[in-house]
Amino acid sequence: MKPLLPNLGQLPTPLWQNTVRHGVALMAFALALLQCIGPSCALAGHEKKMIAATERNPVARDRWRHAVENLDCSRFIFVDETSASIDLTRLYARAPRGERAFGSVPFKHGTPTTFISSLSMEGLGASLTIQGTVNGDVFTIYVRDYLCPTLRRGQIVFVDNFQAHKGEAVRQYIEEAGCTLEFLPTYSPDFSPVELAIGKIKAFLRSVGARTQEDLDAAITEAMNTITSDDAAGWFEHCGYHSSAQC
């Protein structure tokens, strides 16, 4: 007797069944991958690395953070310096897809201009611009003639471990003003809000692209004027110094 139904084993497999089988296999592989490396790794994309110095001392950083966490942040003054020259330009530019963006800067950019500045929760404070680099004598003059006249008794001045900051006269002048000098842990720019202020200033200078010393000096002044008290408060918060009365 002829069977009513055909022999299914002799028929070609329908396309939808192959699709289902492949889909099940793919899901099984994905589940196995998640079990092996975890969901966060499996779903992670390519991200820019946050680079930190291997010379950091985590224990010293923790101790320093605990030492300042109960101090009044409104008393904090952070001081740092950076340099600029007439070869600054934007780091990014537009170009047709698949093509490079080109720019030009003077290779003979002359002597760099260094500016030193302080930052409190109220904004930028005492600032000094010089031709050339900072050494111990220059920094001492800045502290004596520019910073100290603006300090209020009881404030704490924080600097990094740059050798020019470590002159005995620097501490003497700050203490004579009724204030305290403290050093940040080594390789810890993330503890210094003034680093973020410098970043904004450098970004402004790159956007201007001054090509003469006169234009650069004017751009530095204009860049400093863009720093607001809201900027400063946000940078303090970002570095872990909260705007409440106690940190």
How confident is the model at residue 151, as a pLDDT? 98
How confident is the model at residue 228, as a pLDDT? 97
Torsion angle of the four alpha carbons 17, 19, 22, 27, in this order, in degrees rounded to the nearest 10: -110
How confident is the model at residue 3, as a pLDDT? 46
Closest CA relative to residue 241, chosen from 81, 78, 59, 126: 78
pTM: 0.78
pLDDT tens digits in sequence order for the chain, 247 residues long: 444 444 544 545 555 455 556 666 667 666 666 666 655 554 556 676 767 778 889 999 999 999 998 899 999 999 999 999 999 999 888 999 999 988 888 887 889 999 999 999 999 999 999 999 999 999 999 999 999 999 999 999 999 999 999 999 999 999 999 999 999 999 999 999 999 999 999 999 999 999 999 999 999 999 999 999 999 999 999 999 986 544 4
Closest CA relative to residue 117, chosen from 204, 195, 228, 229: 195
- Distance from the first to the final alpha carbon of the chain: 92
How far, in Å, CA of 226 to CA of 123, rounded? 10
Q: Is residue 105 within a helix (H) or strand (E), and if so which, with residue range?
A: none
How far, in Å, CA of 165 to CA of 174, rounded? 12
DSSP state of 147: I
Which SS3 state, helix, strand or coil, does residue 128 take?
strand
How confident is the model at residue 51, as a pLDDT? 77
How confident is the model at residue 22, as a pLDDT? 60
Cβ-based neighbours of 94, under 8 Å, separated by 6 or more: 101
Closest CA relative to residue 241, chosen from 93, 72, 14, 35: 72
- E strand map for the chain: 76-84, 113-120, 123-131, 156-159, 180-183
What amino acid occupies position 209? G
How far, in Å, CA of 40 to CA of 33, rounded? 11
How confident is the model at residue 14, as a pLDDT? 54
Q: Both tokens of residue 143?
A: 């502290």
3-state secondary structure 80-92: EEEEECCCCCCCC
